Amino acid sequence: MVKQKERSDKDASIGFNQKKVRAYNERLVLSLIQRHGALAKSEITRRSGLSAQAVSVIIGELEKDGLLLRGEPIRGRVGQPSVPMRLNPDGVFSFGLKVGRRSADLILIDFAGETRASARITYSYPMPDLVKAFATQGVRDMSLQIGADQQDKIAGIGIALPFQLWSWEDKVGVAAGTMDVWKTFDIAQELESATGLNAYTQNDCTAACSAEVAFGRGMAFSDSLYIFVGTFVGGGVALNNSIYSGRTRNAGALASMPMPGPDGEDKQLIDFASLYFLEAMLKEKGLDPTLLQQQSFDWTNLGAILEEWLDRAAHYIALAIASATAIIDFEVAIVDGTMPASVRDALVEKIRDAISQRNWQGIELPVVLEGTLGSPARALGGASLPLFIRYLLDQNMLFNHT
């Protein structure tokens, strides 16, 4: 759960004092520039609703703090040339840790969202001590790449992991109770103690959805359903350009969506559209399921096995999209996952075909698009958490200014 400072009712009734207003306006300016890549002062003034003088003061302060850089002047026909402002990549750094059921990834990103360093480990199933040791050593090693004089620019570490990581142990292939240790293991607290950095957690697929909205093609759409196909399928919901997690943070929990099995039995989307199912198919054929974790492996070598999995996954994902759209009128459904881009594209094409072959009377299904971030989406979403918590605005708050 993302940590937040407690605020009393008395504090809430006071409203923004001058310092808080200034902090909000600075976040607004930084967020506008982050969303658009680069903006001149005049454009920031227009979009923010702030006065030109206020924008000049804020930009001056942010430049002094090393958070903004000036671009090359752009000369127009009349008046002074405009100077685009952009985020200083070296202004802030952040770590992102993705804890998956088959692998863990650690990345270091800069303020512009670019990955500066990365590391990965694979395993049959995740255990807390292994993940903690991997992340702790990785943070130490990657911090050396920043430089001793820039250590105070590290905003923190965002952790993207499945909630209730111990669930579905039978599908992961471990004995019941093996992963119960995760029920009492506070990974954020453990990493804070080990690294000295503030740590925040978020559901892994929600983090991937956040990354797509903040850095990918999801930025272009107001309302989108996000589907991430990993060892277990998952998802996220974006409404009004912002992540919607719901009352209990179950929004977008597509893995649990009820699905009819081939024989009419009650199943869930996880049973048909997850990579663990493809792993099981490989085992049945006497093939090594860890091939899917090898980045150099060409998935097209799987031939008919891959096609069978793609057809089944596409059919059930199409049903999931239809079910979700019957509740919320999504503009697009974005599909991504831990698979080669060519396989993801083939899956999206089959989902489109599955949708076109059915009569969805009463609803109009969203356009199905490929995601743009792939496997790194979850770690990138985790790494963006400290940046948004400390420097940027929630996309929903930014919407009226874009």
DSSP string, 93-144: EEEEEEE-SSEEEEEEEETTS-EEEEEEEE-SS--HHHHHHHHHHHHHHHHT
pLDDT tens, per residue, the chain with 402 residues:
334 333 333 333 334 455 556 699 999 999 999 989 999 999 999 999 999 999 999 999 999 999 999 988 887 655 567 899 999 999 999 999 999 989 999 999 999 999 999 999 999 899 999 999 999 999 999 999 888 888 999 999 999 999 888 887 887 788 889 999 999 999 999 999 999 999 999 999 999 999 999 999 998 999 999 999 999 999 999 998 889 988 887 888 999 999 998 888 899 999 999 999 999 999 999 999 999 988 889 999 999 999 999 999 999 999 999 999 999 999 999 999 999 999 999 999 999 999 999 889 899 999 999 999 999 999 999 999 999 999 998 755 454 455
Structure tokens at 196: 């000295």
Instruction: Look at the chain and count its residues.
Output: 402
With respect to residue 316, please indicate whether it lies within any of the assigned structural domains: yes
Q: How far apart are CA 58 and CA 48, in angstroms?
A: 12
What is the CATH number for 59?
1.10.10.10
The label of the residue with tokens 């992961």 reads 172
351 and 221 in a common domain: yes
267 and 224 in a common domain: yes
106 and 22 in a common domain: no
How many domains does the chain contain in total? Answer: 3
Which pLDDT does position 235 carry in this prediction?
Answer: 95
With respect to residue 169, please indicate whether it lies within any of the assigned structural domains: yes
Cα–Cα nearest to 241, from 226, 219, 225:
219
With beta carbons less than 8 A apart as the criterion, state whether 346 and 337 touch.
Answer: no
With respect to residue 311, please indicate whether it lies within any of the assigned structural domains: yes
Domain that holds residue 34: 16-72+81-88
With respect to residue 402, please indicate whether it lies within any of the assigned structural domains: no
241 and 364 in a common domain: yes
The pTM of this model reads: 0.87
Q: How far apart are CA 233 and CA 278, in angstroms?
A: 12
249 and 196 in a common domain: no
305 and 283 in a common domain: yes
With respect to residue 309, please indicate whether it lies within any of the assigned structural domains: yes
99 and 48 in a common domain: no
197 and 229 in a common domain: no
Which pLDDT does position 9 carry in this prediction?
Answer: 34
With beta carbons less than 8 A apart as the criterion, state whether 211 and 193 touch.
Answer: no
What is the CATH number for 310?
3.30.420.40
